[in-house]
Amino acid sequence: MTGGSILGNRVLRKEDPKFLTSGGKYVDDLNDEPLLQGALHVTYVRSSVAHGRILSIDTSDAESMPGVVAVFTAASLELQPVPAGMPAAFGVIVARTLLASDKVRYVGEPIAAVVTETREQGVDAAEAVIADYDVLEAFVDVEAAMMSSTLVYEGAGSNVVFDTTVLGIPENTGEAFFKDCDVVVTGRFMNQRVAPCPLEVRGAAAAWGPDGRLNQWLSTQHAQGAVDPLAAANGVDKSLIRVRTPDVGGGFGAKIGAYGEELLLGVIAKKTGRPVKWRETRSESMVALGHGRAQLQYVTIGGTKAGKVTHYQLHAIQDCGGFADMGTILAPFMTRPMSSGVYAIPNIECRTTSVITNTTPTVAYRGAGRPEATAAIERAMDLFALELGMDAAEVRRKNLIKKFMEGHTTVSGSTYDVGDYETALDKALAAADYASLRTEQAKRRASGDVKQIGIGVSVYVEITGGVGNGESAKVEVTEDGRAKVYTGTSPHGQGHDTAWSMLVQEQTGIPMDRIELIWGDTDLVPVGTGTMGSRSLQQGGNAVFQVAGTLTEKAKAVAARLLEANEADVVLDKGRGVFHVAGTPAMSKSWADLAAAEKGNGGLMHDEVIGVPGATFPFGAHVAVVEVDTETGRVKHLRQVACDDAGKVLNPMLLDGQIHGGVAQGVAQALLEEVLYDADGNPTTSNLADYGFISAAELPSVEVVHMETPTPVNAIGAKGIGESGTIGSTPAIQSAVVDAVSHLGVRHIEMPCTAERVWQAINAAK
């Protein structure tokens, strides 16, 4: 280990033996939970219509079927409309009941809950519930929804539920903005709708305990965040809610909030007098778990013939789907602030508009608004370079913000912490051997080879740790010398157990295998902001690190008392895990000794919420290489070079894992994934047979290039890494596909760059 410290070393994950042998314990594995014995099963009946007034819901046939305990509708549960938060803050009313009552607004919206003795009985009974609708015009196209006088929510007054003009941000000025530019290029890009597809679909269970409290188990990224919505849904004080999170099999942002299907379980459990469980199917997950991206972008970029960009204009139209959920605020509050990207563009206009449609509501999805911002500016830079006939990498280099280590405020209003974008670009280009790739490309073009290669470059910056301004942590040492670490973050694959244990070992000397991580139980960890926005290490890990350090200082005071010495003379020998007076190591006290001594004083522990002054801004550069068959349009992904600077690296193995996963998700969007609807709003990609889900077979090995630029924002110098790979990879891949056929006259191909789309673009250019 470097310098005797465990930090910065490739430490194997503590979590893996369990997941690779006995397996995790997920919501569906809670069969031995005492409070859930005799649980009923809930199956939701979902709308088969994208937009329509509900005329009637006939539950009589279902109620008479075997095993059916009850069938509930919004009327029988006396549900009241729940308003969406963000539009209401600006006077726009968007409200719905947790089971649809007056209208249905997307295929998959729950309209009734069937409660049965077994899960299989619920599936059969749900099919017997008959809903009659007055079918209305359905909006799949976001621009059609903007212009229509038919409203999805009459109370909103418009299908546009948010626009940055209400924040005092003026409308884009149009062509006049570019009057002094030598070169102006425009583009219309669709950052397409995608489905999160966690391997573990949503599931939940609820039981009222003998103490009158609701116990709810959720597959969630933020247990503490579910307490208030559950309390409201059940009409009780939040002190009567306990949320517990078992192992979570993937979230990707879609499991941050509590959905209606989960919020209703306590109500149903109280009505039936028995605990209840619910688990969606994969097909349900594809239409009812929140979707991501779904942003239409109008982009104009202008500058000089020498390649200097002077003006950039973006209008991002965000598809909210069938409710004003998290998707409403992604464009204005995540895409807009990052619209400048890594470039020193002196003149930027960015307007965003959020629109309701008759599709699955959009929520936060890995990157949440930042990938959209990067995709827009990077695609614009490619078009600008093509127009000038210049190398895309060199045009980027000409416009990068120069290295800064004490903050930089962009024209779009974001203050980045530290940045060295040119070095990241140079490292990625060198690792890829960019010059040789261009030489190979030139040879294939000259020979007229059917298979052409494309080289795509992206340079990005993103915002992480922007959610919450700190995190709770508690470290407790038990009488056997072990440590218990309580965290307000929530792991679902990132390696928190390993990372937090490394941080505590670094401060205390207690070995990692004697450290236990506790999370996702609101009785044990009542304060926490969860895992989202790549905040975990820089806020949750930072809190654990500092709390463990404070506990060590407390322990020195206890050791001084036991050793009858001055506290200033007591030192911690981390290698042995003991405290002794400097110069006399033979007389020492272990952590177990100290914990035993403090038993009567409340134990040896420290509990604190540690704040941070702001967000961090990871950055990097990606180079993608693809091969395109010009006769069929088929794309083969050959190489992906990723330089992702996440500040000080705690564990390179965890870092690489996050980059690999992020790249896989980003490549999948560029080449495969797209949620599609027909003209009536019926989903046509509602299973993994129809939806392009990536596998290892479609991916090359990711070539990770390490770079560390520590941030001053937190004590460990770390920035987020969970989403960076997704943000950098997608535009690089799209750029590479277009680059492969640009000599044939192709200027743009929409994502996903499927064989059909590539083939059509080639033939259209001819």
- pLDDT per residue as tens digits for the range 620-656: 999 999 999 999 999 999 999 999 999 999 999 999 9
Residue by residue, DSSP assigns 265-308 as HHHHHHHHTS-EEEE--HHHHHHHSPBEEEEEEEEEEEE-TTS-
The structure tokens listed for 344 are 């020193």
Q: What CATH number belongs to 34-136+208-278? A: 3.90.1170.50
**Mean pLDDT of all residues in the chain?**
97
CA distance 21 to 244: 23
The distance between the two most distant Cα atoms of the chain, rounded to a whole number of Å, is 88
CA distance 3 to 61: 72
Q: What angle do CA 17, 20, 23 make, to 5 degrees?
A: 100
User: What's the rounded mean pLDDT across residues 373-384?
Assistant: 98
Q: What CATH number belongs to 292-464+615-765? A: 3.30.365.10
CA distance 616 to 416: 7
CA distance 423 to 644: 11
User: What's the rounded mean pLDDT across residues 485-510?
Assistant: 97
Residue 428 has pLDDT above 50, yes or no: yes
- Given this model, what pLDDT does residue 90 score? 86
User: What's the rounded mean pLDDT across residues 294-300?
Assistant: 98
User: What's the rounded mean pLDDT across residues 403-431?
Assistant: 97
- Given this model, what pLDDT does residue 2 score? 41
Which of 420, 397, 371 has its CA nearest to residue 710? 420
Give Cα 18 to chain centroid, integer Å.
25
- pLDDT per residue as tens digits for the range 721-745: 999 999 999 999 999 999 999 999 9
- Given this model, what pLDDT does residue 1 score? 43
- Given this model, what pLDDT does residue 86 score? 83
User: What's the rounded mean pLDDT across residues 606-620?
Assistant: 97
User: What's the rounded mean pLDDT across residues 491-508?
Assistant: 97
Yes or no: say if 626 and 454 are a contact pair by the CB < 8 Å rule.
yes
For residue 521, what are the CA distances in angstroms to 13, 232, 477? 22, 19, 19
Of 61-75, 77-91, 170-184, the range with the lowest mean pLDDT is 77-91
| Helix (H) / strand (E) containing 17 | helix 16-20
Yes or no: say if 399 and 365 are a contact pair by the CB < 8 Å rule.
no
Yes or no: say if 503 and 539 are a contact pair by the CB < 8 Å rule.
no
For residue 761, what are the CA distances in angstroms to 376, 666, 671, 744, 747? 20, 22, 15, 10, 9
Residue by residue, DSSP assigns 563-631 as HTS-GGGEEEETTTTEEEETTEEEEEEEHHHHHHHTGGGT-EEEEEEEE-SS-B--EEEEEEEEEEETT
Q: In what order do the strands lie in the sheet with 451-461?
A: 451-461, 619-629, 635-645, 702-705
CA distance 540 to 475: 13
Q: Report DSSP state, residue 92.
A: -
Band (pLDDT 50/70/90 cuts) for residue 3 is: very low
Quickly name the fold that domain 466-611 has.
Answer: Aldehyde Oxidoreductase; domain 4 (3.30.365)
For the chain, give percent helix, strand, coil, nearest 5: 35, 25, 40
- Given this model, what pLDDT does residue 78 score? 97
CA distance 333 to 162: 11
- Ramachandran region, residue 640 (left: φ > 0; alpha: ψ -120 to 50; beta: rest): beta
Find residue 400's DSSP bridge partners.
343
* Extents of the domains making up the chain: 34-136+208-278, 292-464+615-765, 466-611
Residue 137 has pLDDT above 80, yes or no: yes
Q: Do domains 292-464+615-765 and 466-611 have the same CATH topology?
A: yes
Which of 464, 614, 621, 619 has its CA nearest to residue 537? 464
Q: Per the confidence metrics, is the pTM higher than 0.85?
A: yes
- Given this model, what pLDDT does residue 89 score? 82
User: What's the rounded mean pLDDT across residues 379-392?
Assistant: 98
Q: Report DSSP state, residue 23.
A: -
Q: Phi/psi of residue 534, each to 5°? A: 55, 40
- pLDDT per residue as tens digits for the range 519-536: 999 999 999 999 999 999
3-class DSSP state of 350: strand
β-pairing, 214-218 with 241-244? parallel
- Given this model, what pLDDT does residue 325 score? 87
